Amino acid sequence: MFKAGRYIYTVFMCHLSLEKMLKAKVEENKDKTPPKTHDLVYLVSLAGLSPDKDTEKFIVEISNLSIVTRYPKDFSRMLKDFSQERVELILLKTKEAFQWIKQSIQL
């Protein structure tokens, strides 16, 4: 998606991948189905995880971006806001956060 220039969809999928990993961790900790939410900050809390400051800041950022990508009011403006450089950084930070969450899950 990123290589094809589908930047908004890339951000959406970044959020979704983190959401699913966090819900897996919540499931592991609580032994029950996680709540129906897209709020990554809330899921981090439920999962009992303590991110470092940079990861925490990114999770807040991408959690807020989820609303924008799910319910766009001005699609043309979004295309300008999500440049290749910005989305590449989001993708990199998502991979780092994904690995951090994955390491906490008992396999």
Q: What's the pLDDT tens digit per position in 5-57?
A: 999 889 989 999 999 999 999 999 989 899 999 999 999 999 999 999 999 99
Q: Is the pLDDT of residue 90 over 70?
A: yes
pLDDT for residue 79: 73
Q: What's the pLDDT tens digit per position in 53-72?
A: 999 999 999 998 876 666 66
In angstroms, the Cα distances linking 37 to 34, 46, 99 are 8, 11, 21
Answer whether 0.95 is exceeded by the pTM: no
Give the range among 17-21, 35-39, 75-79, 86-90 with minimum mean pLDDT: 75-79
pLDDT for residue 75: 65
pLDDT band for position 106 (cuts 50, 70, 90)? confident
Helix or strand run (H / E) with residue 69: helix 53-70
Phi-psi region of 5 (alpha: psi -120 to 50; beta: other; left: phi over 0): left
The closest alpha carbon to 101, from 44, 54, 60, 61, belongs to 44
